[in-house]
Amino acid sequence: MNLNRREFLKASAATAFAAPLAGLADTAKPVPKGKAEACIFLWMGGGMAQIDTFDPKGRGDGKKVSGCAYNTIDTAIPGVKVTEHLRQTAAVLDRCVLLRSLSHEQSAEHGAATYLVHTARKPSETVVYPSIGSVVAHQLGPRSESVPPYVVMGYPNIARDPGFLGPQHGYVYLTQLETGPNGLIRPPDVDIARQQRREGLLGAWQKELARRNPADKAAAAQSEISRRGFKMAGPEFMNVFDLAHEPKTLRENYGGEFGQRCLLARRLVQSGVRFVEVSFNLNFINGTGWDTHNEGQRDQHKLIQELDRAFATLVLDLERHKLLEKTLVVIATEFGRPPGFDSRGGRGHQSQGFTSVLAGGGLRSGQVVGATDDGGGKIAEHPLTMPDYHATMYCALGINPHKRLYTPDDRPVPITDFGRPAEKLFA
């Protein structure tokens, strides 16, 4: 077939225009809808080894023979096994779904992979994408002005940021459980009367700023944030952090520091928070956290045991409070680990075939989606991209993953890059 220059350009333009239309056509396709009204996102930063936790294979020797580092046990899902250090989780796995075939291409660098898993997109020079927590906050909105829609237990990171959605959809972060956010605590030398005078002065200044700059959206957003911050400094939100209100036995069941964070996450969701990210950053337990290169593998079982105790207790605690159907609980990580061992008995990085766990949210639980091959190094069935992963979580929360958001310059951006949810999780 011979084309002259004009015919070639015409055909090329038609093809370029048709491709975006094909993608946009998916926005009209019905999507499943879950029952969750909030999400607790448990972040295993560093790269949790799926082969040593939720996708075990044959036993390895820690040296030349690839495979799982531990023995395996049966679970509440018939025919599905996990490793021996997930004994409590095994008993509640029928309330969960295992996604065993997640994949992406950012295996070399933790920061890039963390950003991708939180946003379902690679960094862009033109658009700063919002994290899943900010999208949930934006779409579901606050339940109360006294409670933030989005909370992070850990340290600030660009992967958790609101991106083009703006600071009003950002997070409140916690580094101490007992006191709540430091920025919301009134200094001891500031009594209520003095605080009210300060708020009045700030409010007057903000009104004058708005009068002089009516089109300044950034200033308006910052004023709104400070107004909501004063609301959140009240007892309705700050009392959530008093874990002494919970039974001693329950607090003990949750376990150590990570477990207490999970208990607080339940209380935050109960108070009206929409999205809580809980970071498991207890690297001191094995020296490396979940990034188990070299000797970090040696005491990895201690991390798994901490996760096991906290997660299983959280699932049962939410169920006891009749919150499990309304709360999506996610165990997430930036990538997994390969079945083979490095020269000192640890594991490298693997982004082609790793696992996430979903619980609650009204999903069809007690099943596994996807699989890796017998060696655990490659996806064997039902591959799930990061947009697919996000689409699944958004659908569980009643959010259309194809809905368009808009940047400040009115550029349309779909919530996910046309990801497809794992439909078998929805009734």
Taking only Cα atoms into account, the Rg of the chain, rounded to an integer number of angstroms, comes to 23
Per-domain residue ranges of the chain? 30-185+233-425, 186-227
Average pLDDT estimate for 1-20:
43
What is the C-alpha to C-alpha distance for residues 52 and 82, in angstroms, rounded to an integer? 8
Q: Is the pLDDT of residue 395 over 80?
A: yes
What is the per-residue pLDDT for 155?
83
pLDDT tens digits along 43-65 = 999 999 999 999 999 999 999 99
pLDDT tens digits along 89-136 = 999 999 999 999 999 999 999 999 999 999 999 999 899 999 999 999
Dihedral of CA 420/425/426/427: which sign? positive
Q: Measured between alpha carbons, how far apart are the two ends of the chain, in Å?
A: 50
DSSP 193: H
pLDDT tens digits along 261-278 = 999 999 999 999 999 999
Q: Between these two residues, 308 and 180, which has the higher pLDDT value?
A: 308
User: Distances in Å between the alpha carbon of 239 and those of 115, 164, 251, 283, 399?
Assistant: 32, 32, 17, 29, 30
Average pLDDT estimate for 206-232:
62
What is the C-alpha to C-alpha distance for residues 311 and 328, in angstroms, rounded to an integer? 13
Q: Is the pLDDT of residue 221 over 70?
A: no
Average pLDDT estimate for 313-327:
98
Contact predicate 322/309, CB 8 Å: no
What is the per-residue pLDDT for 3?
47
Q: What angle do CA 138, 144, 149 make, to 5 degrees?
A: 35
Q: Is the pLDDT of residue 24 over 50?
A: no
What is the per-residue pLDDT for 21?
40
**What 3-state class would DSSP assign to 413?**
strand
Identity at 244, one-letter amino acid code: A
Who contacts 38 (Cβ-Cβ below 8 Å, separation ≥6)? 269, 273, 274, 275, 276, 326, 327, 328, 397
Query: What's the whole-number average pLDDT of the chain?
Result: 87
Q: Is the pLDDT of residue 396 over 90?
A: yes
Residue from 425, 369, 375 nearest 80 by CA: 369
User: Distances in Å between the alpha carbon of 45 and those of 111, 238, 384?
Assistant: 10, 27, 20
Phi, psi of 395 (to 5 degrees): -60, -40
Instruction: Give the architecture (CATH level 2) of 30-185+233-425.
Output: 3-Layer(aba) Sandwich (3.40)
What is the per-residue pLDDT for 340?
96
- Token pair recorded at residue 101: 């075939």
The share of the chain scoring above pLDDT 90, in percent, equals 72
Q: What angle do CA 255, 259, 265 make, to 5 degrees?
A: 150
What is the C-alpha to C-alpha distance for residues 255 and 303, in angstroms, rounded to an integer? 12
Confidence of residue 146 (pLDDT cuts 50, 70, 90): confident
pLDDT tens digits along 241-260 = 889 999 999 999 999 999 99
User: Distances in Å between the alpha carbon of 255 and those of 171, 282, 311?
Assistant: 26, 13, 10
Contact predicate 158/214, CB 8 Å: no
**What 3-state class would DSSP assign to 83?**
strand
Average pLDDT estimate for 348-366:
97
Average pLDDT estimate for 150-164:
93
Confidence of residue 37 (pLDDT cuts 50, 70, 90): very high
What is the per-residue pLDDT for 13?
41
- The model carries a pTM of 0.85
